[in-house]
Amino acid sequence: MTGSKFISDRLFSFSKESLSSTVMRLAVTSVALAIIVMIISLAVVVGFKNQIRDKVVGFVAPIHIQALDRNESFEQKPFVVDDRLRQLLEHTDGINHYQLVSDKAGMIKTDEEIQGVVMKGVDARYDWSYFERCLVEGMTPRYSDTVRSSEVIVSKAIANKMLLTVGGSMRVWFIDEDMQARGRKFDIVGTFETGLTEFDERYVFCDLGQIRRLNHWEQDETGTVEVWVDDMDRMEEVNEALYYNIPGDLASYTARNSNPQVFDWLDLLDTNVWLILTLLFLVAGITVISMLLILIIERTSTIGLLKAMGASDRFVRRVFIYRSIRILLIGMLIGNIIGLGFCWFQQATGFIHLNPETYYLSSVPIELRWGMVLALNVGAFVLWLLMLLIPTAIINGIRPSRSIRFE
């Protein structure tokens, strides 16, 4: 044990009833609260961003290819998925799956209600894994490239509004190019709920063959090719590779391009969390600085006595730095235990609920990354330790003759 550490342990104690012990307890509390809030803030923001992103991407796919003259209507311009395009999709690095889909506007009509919808036709290659996690009742349909199916899956929101039930049927009306209404009967095999209101209140999934027949398309024509990637962080990179290699009459778009408002909202969360972290760093740091200043002022005569006995300024500064480091470590340990415990409990139980119509989620999402937690703790400790060097500079100006007489 070094001399400065021995003296630090003798001078300061949490158990003694004194001003210094009270101030140290407050500093520990401040550091612990800062760590708790920072851990929870990061875990919630990361969890929220990833879950919302996965919901949006799960519905619209990371990348989609459409005709270059894409318009804002739901009547898509068809294009042929030829061998060249298939070879490109199968051999581009980063792509693990692609599927053909097409949208067509329609209207569900019952005896009492009318609801405008978008019929999303999907092919036999469609990956239902995302919707299987969102199923409320029934099952997802299975389509074939050779036999046209009348099975559909609707959202819970549409089913409730139109009084539709799994196992029942519905009639959807379409307007063709000649402004003639045509009706089609579909069998409901399942209902889903993604939590994304703008999607749940709009889309019905059906066989792509039905859309082709309604639009008088050929078997190899489609309105969109949805592309899935191995790594979501490479979405922009893969999209750029596709964009410059697909035929000139096509264009590729990412999920961010098609839903910029959602991703801009998620990016705004980063700004908020950085602001929260900065404020917490500063508040806790100022509290620790104030604590150290009070300790120095309270022990002015002791500092003078140590100097009179030959102790250097550096030695005396270490006495106070050792105590400050111990306070930081105790506060950070308590903060990590409580913060990580809260995150684990929320992950396990989801006891804090959200309004899914507003936040797209039914409970507060938590996603812990140990690298993130470690970086937060190391960064906070180093920053606060550097801030502690500021008040210790006062020790250099304390003179033994005056400080001992002050006592």
Q: Are 12 and 325 in contact (CB under 8 A)?
A: no
pTM of the entire predicted model: 0.76
Region class of 286: left (phi > 0), else alpha (psi between -120 and 50), else beta: alpha
Place of tokens 């778009």: 253
Question: pLDDT value at position 19?
Answer: 62
Residue 142 identity: R
Please check the confidence at residue 77 and state whether its pLDDT lies above 80: yes
**Residues 177-203, mean pLDDT to the nearest whole number:** 86
Tell me the three state secondary structure of residue 137. strand
What does the alpha-carbon distance between residue 331 and residue 39 come to, in Å, rounded to a whole number? Answer: 14
Q: Detail the DSSP E strand segments found in 315-400.
A: none
In this structure, of 16-20, 23-27, 120-124, 345-349, the range with the lowest mean pLDDT score is 16-20
The encoded tokens of residue 313 equal: 């300024």
Question: How far is CA 306 from each of CA 20, 70, 302, 318, rounded to the nearest angstrom?
Answer: 19, 80, 6, 12
Pick 178 or 135 by higher pLDDT: 135
Name the band, by pLDDT with cuts 50, 70 and 90, for residue 403. Answer: low
Residue 7 has pLDDT above 70, yes or no: no
Higher per-residue pLDDT: 398 or 173? 173
pLDDT, the chain, mean: 83
pLDDT digits (tens, 9 = 90+) for 282-299: 888 888 888 777 777 766
> What is the reported pLDDT for 70?
55
Percentage of the chain lying above the pLDDT 90 cut: 29
pLDDT at residue 72, as a whole number:
58
Arithmetic mean of pLDDT, 162-178: 87
Instruction: Tally the residues of the chain.
Output: 407
Which pLDDT does position 405 carry in this prediction?
52
CA distance 84 to 90: 10
> Do 368 and 378 meet the contact criterion of CB atoms below 8 Å apart?
no
Average pLDDT over residues 345-351: 88
CA angle 109, 114, 115 (to 5 degrees): 105
Q: Please say whether the beta carbons of 368 and 45 come within 8 A.
A: no
Q: Quick one: pLDDT band at residue 350, thresholds 50, 70, 90?
A: confident
> b/e per residue, 32-52, with b = 16+ CB within 10 A?
bbbbbbbbbbbbbbbbbbebb
**First-to-last C-alpha distance (Å) of the chain:** 29
Cβ pair 164, 154 in contact under 8 A: yes
Q: Which of 237, 232, 229, 259 is nearest to 127 (CA)?
A: 229
- H or E element that contains 339: helix 313-349
Point out the least confidently predicted range of 205-214, 246-255, 268-277, 386-395: 386-395
pLDDT at 308: 65
pLDDT, position 283: 83
Each residue's pLDDT tens digit, 191-242: 999 888 888 889 999 999 999 998 889 888 899 999 999 988 889 999 999 9
pLDDT the model gives residue 9: 54
The three-class DSSP label of residue 216 is coil
Once rounded to an integer, what is the mean pLDDT over residues 246-265? 86
The confidence band for 186, taking pLDDT boundaries of 50, 70 and 90, is very high
How high is the pLDDT of residue 153? 95
Q: Mean pLDDT lowest for which of 67-71, 100-104, 124-128?
A: 67-71
